[in-house]
Amino acid sequence: MLKEILIGGFGGQGIMLMGQLIAYGAIHEGLEATFFPSYGPEMRGGTANCTVVISDQRIGSPIRNKFSVLMAMNQASLDKFKDRVKTGGVLVYNETLINNPPEVKDVEIVKVPANQIADELDNPQVANMVAAGGLIGVLGVISFDSLSRGLEKVLPKYRHQLIPLNEKAIKIGMRAVLETAKVEQKK
């Protein structure tokens, strides 16, 4: 099993936190994982992306040109990275912030209304956790419990009071992906 994941968005969306969380979740599942961040020159509002590779075998390198999964949190990231998804891969995108849905062939497309759900939870900052939940729903190799255990590692201790809110956002993101899949199967 090998999952090559690219997560892209803008600075301030919690892209690196998502990547670290997915990597820790995989480790808690007993899998091998790498996390490789990439920042634009700006702190907030600039580009940010990271690569997470998950495998049941040793991982030779975190660097990839093509990915089995792309999580695009904004339009610029979708436009920049959509062609880097392998044939048969999955493109997950934050439909709340993306006005032009992806048009790619031979790739499964999954929508997650991450920012909309975060707004409904009265906390726009958990959009990344909604997206992380959607992403683990798509990956199918990391359990909620493992991802939840990862929250304790990636969130600083002074933010641990936010773990229940983050867990709720993750669960809702997972459900959103499952509901989307059910709707697509009916078509």
* Predicted local confidence at residue 41, as pLDDT: 66
pLDDT, position 183: 45
This prediction's pTM = 0.91
Position 11 scores a pLDDT of 84
Q: What is the pLDDT along the chain (187 residues), one digit of tens a residue?
A: 999 999 999 888 999 999 999 999 999 999 999 999 987 665 566 779 999 999 999 998 888 999 999 999 999 999 999 999 999 999 999 999 999 988 888 999 999 999 999 999 999 999 999 999 999 999 999 999 999 999 999 999 999 999 999 999 999 999 998 876 544 444 4
CA distance 173 to 136: 9
What pLDDT was estimated at residue 45?
Answer: 63
For domain 2-186, give the fold: Pyruvate-ferredoxin Oxidoreductase; domain 3 (3.40.920)
3-state secondary structure the chain: CEEEEEEEEECCCCHHHHHHHHHHHHHHCCCEEEEEEEECCCCCCCEEEEEEEEECCCCCCCCCCCEEEEEECCHHHHHHHHHHEEEEEEEEEECCCCCCCCCCCCCEEEEECHHHHHHHCCCHHHHHHHHHHHHHHHHCCCCHHHHHHHHHHHCCHHHHHHHHHHHHHHHHHHHHHHHHHHHHHHC
> What is d(CA 45, CA 130) in angstroms, rounded to the nearest whole number?
20
Annotated domain spans of the chain: 2-186
